[in-house]
Amino acid sequence: MDIKKKRRLKIIIAAAILTCFALAFRASDKYFEIAKSLDIMASAYRDLNDYYVDSVNPSKLMQAGMEAMAQSLDPYTWYFSKDELSDLSFETTGKYGGVGISIQKSNDSIVISDVIENAPFARAGIHTGDVILSLDDTPVNKLSMDQIAGLLKGDPGTTLNTQILHAGGDKVTDYKITRQEIDIPAVSYSGLAAPGIGYIRIGQFTEGTAEEVKSAFLEIKKEHPELKGLIIDLRGNPGGLMIEALKTANLFLPQGDTIMSTRGRLPEWDHVYTAGSKPLDAQIPIAVLVNGGSASASEIVAGAIQDLDRGVIIGRRSFGKGLVQTTRDLPYDTKIKFTVAKYYTPSGRCIQAINYSQDNNEGYVSLIPDSLRKDFHTKDGRVVRSAGGIMPDKVVSKDS
């Protein structure tokens, strides 16, 4: 080996060693900051519990701190205490322990806005429009909506005492209701919207959504063999499980087509997701309905249908949640859900509307400006924009 090659090799080795040292120091600095911050937090937590003027509940104080830390990152990063795990379970399964009603506040009254068929309240003879006066002997006018929702939920088999004022009269009845597992179907309605046009409304992407959509579509085709088109209604659908959105899109997309991709800070979150199975029907004309309440998993389906020119998107611009979360177990039966990646439609669009990593001049996060939006192209060459949500092909002024 000549002198020049030896010198070059020494330089390369020296550079590699320096790089390793730099990375090691950078990692050690990071872990020192973590250890320092934990030490400060533990000291403050101990002092607040020991010396605060009023009695402090240690668990509630820690929970408040955990929630504030998570929420400082983005609205989708969340800490779940043991008591809140039922909320996380409902997000993924569509099931919860409760009495099977929806409520709304009208003036100072808590009015039942919906009653699920065969659920505990329905079997007791309580109807839409009835007013809840008390729950477990506590007048509801002394409770927040969150507290009321918390009392209505509970483990299956537990009981709830409630006082109901029936709609259209002055009759007040006391009930003792036994909670049960409530299963909210993902497909809230399916049938014909017009002669030859099928209609499937998806309320949320929970476990089994794709199978429900498949069953609903096959039932419509069985009853109406002359089916000429399909409407998929995603209005007000807040999202849910990414895997169910992928499976649902796969029902109507050619096998092998890209449905979406994800990119994170760590390479382990970089993935390309394709239609891995044969479609249920890759030919039937499709219209997807969206609005400002269509988010996340809904936008995955709508974005794939639009970018692959598989159908037309109708309605108003969707919410614009292009972030992916994962959940990890923590000690003492608690969990944390946090954002690990952004997702991209087949054309390469990220439809995230808000940049949570940067504050504006007032210290608040803000919408990504139009000047940073880019043009992308669908499978057939149509121009689509990263518009902070899915911009419909046909915009309508309001839901109908």
Catalytic residue among 294, 296, 298, 347: 296
Of 164, 183, 202, the residue at which a domain comes to its end is: 183
Note whether residue 293 is domain-resident: yes
Catalytic residue among 74, 298, 307, 347: 307
Considering the domain architecture, whether residues 18 and 135 belong to the same structural domain is answered as no
Question: What is the maximum alpha-carbon separation in the chain?
Answer: 103
Catalytic residue among 74, 130, 261, 321: 321
Residue pair 208/220 in contact (Cβ under 8 Å)? The answer is: no
Active site residue 47: no
We report the CATH number of the domain holding residue 149 as 2.30.42.10
Helix segments in the chain, DSSP class H: 3-51, 58-71, 85-93, 120-123, 145-152, 209-223, 242-250, 297-307
Q: What is the pLDDT of residues 132-186, one digit of tens each?
A: 999 999 999 888 988 998 899 888 999 999 999 999 888 899 999 999 998 889 9
By DSSP bridging, strand 101-106 and strand 95-98 are unpaired
Considering the domain architecture, whether residues 251 and 333 belong to the same structural domain is answered as yes
Of 138, 154, 183, the residue at which a domain comes to its end is: 183
Considering the domain architecture, whether residues 222 and 358 belong to the same structural domain is answered as yes
- Of 359 and 311, the one with more pLDDT: 311
Note whether residue 64 is domain-resident: no
Task: Report pLDDT for 207.
Answer: 94
How many domains are there within the chain?
3
pLDDT averaged over every residue in the chain: 88
Note whether residue 346 is domain-resident: yes
Strands (E), 243-359: 258-264, 271-274, 286-290, 311-315, 323-330, 334-344, 354-359
Considering the domain architecture, whether residues 131 and 176 belong to the same structural domain is answered as yes
Active site residue 321: yes
Note whether residue 36 is domain-resident: yes
Note whether residue 19 is domain-resident: yes
Q: Which range of residues forms the domain containing residue 176?
A: 95-183
Question: Residue 105 — pLDDT band, cuts 50, 70, 90?
Answer: confident
Active site residue 335: no
Q: Is the pLDDT of residue 84 over 60?
A: yes
Considering the domain architecture, whether residues 241 and 389 belong to the same structural domain is answered as yes
Which of 138-147, 209-218, 285-294, 367-376 is least confident? 367-376
Considering the domain architecture, whether residues 110 and 155 belong to the same structural domain is answered as yes
Considering the domain architecture, whether residues 192 and 259 belong to the same structural domain is answered as yes
pTM comes to: 0.80
Considering the domain architecture, whether residues 270 and 355 belong to the same structural domain is answered as yes
Of 165, 183, 201, the residue at which a domain comes to its end is: 183
Considering the domain architecture, whether residues 236 and 323 belong to the same structural domain is answered as yes
